[in-house]
Amino acid sequence: MKTLTALMLAAIASLLLAGCNTIEGIGQDIKKAGGVIEDAAKKK
C-alpha cells in the first residue's frame, strides 16, 4: 500500500511539474477568450 501511495504521489508531482508551461498557455488562451467576449458585449 505504501508503494502504491508513493507511486501515485510521484506521478502527480511529475504531472504538476510538466504542466507548468501548459497551465501558462491555458491562462493566455482564457485571457484572449475573455477579451473576445468582452468586445462582443460592448458591441451590443
Q: For residue 1, what is its C-alpha cell? A: 500500500
The count of domains in the chain is: 1
Distance CA 42, CA 17 (A): 39
pLDDT tens sequence across 1-43: 788 888 888 888 877 767 667 777 778 888 888 888 888 888 8
Return the C-alpha cell found at 16. Answer: 504538476
Which cell goes with 11? 506521478
Q: In which domain, by residue range, is 37 found?
A: 2-43
Residue 19 is predicted with a pLDDT of 67
What is the distance between the alpha carbons of residues 20 and 25, in angstroms, rounded to a whole number? 9
pTM above 0.85, yes or no: no
